[in-house]
Amino acid sequence: MSQTPDQARPTPRAGIMDIDAYVPGKSTAPAGVAKVHKLSSNENPLGPSPKAIEAAREIAGKLDIYPDGTARRLREAIAEVHGLN
């Protein structure tokens, strides 16, 4: 039995479609301030750093791999920084 494209699409849980879409707000500049950079909504007027872009490129081919649930490498790095074993 074949499916039409509409039948193949996932159906969101009840209530998901009732969530209002995010609308970015506009900050009001205090008196005497010409421009305000809003950072409270994960908005960055400068864009991502070149290092962040490079890191994203390096990991892009591994996005299907789950991280180590024990966080062994992280724990070892923290232990090394703090002189623990």
Q: What is the CA radius of gyration of the chain?
A: 22
pTM (global) more than 0.75: no
**Residue 22 counted as domain residue:** no
Which tens digit of pLDDT belongs to each residue from 3-54? Answer: 566 667 888 888 888 888 876 766 677 888 887 777 766 777 788 999 999 9
**Residue 6 counted as domain residue:** no
Q: Please give the residue range of the domain that contains residue 78.
A: 34-85
**Residue 55 counted as domain residue:** yes
- What SS3 state is found at 5? helix
- The mean pLDDT value for 56-85 works out to 92
**Residue 85 counted as domain residue:** yes
Asked whether residue 1 carries a pLDDT value surpassing 60, the answer given is no
- Record the tokens describing residue 57, joined without a space: 């490129």
SS3 track for 8-62: HCCCCCCCHHHCCCCCCCCCCCCCCCCCCCCCCCCCCCCCCCHHHHHHHHHHHHH
pLDDT at 74: 94
**Residue 26 counted as domain residue:** no
pLDDT at 4: 67
- The mean pLDDT value for 58-78 works out to 91
Residue pair 23/38 in contact (Cβ under 8 Å)? The answer is no
Type of residue at 9: R
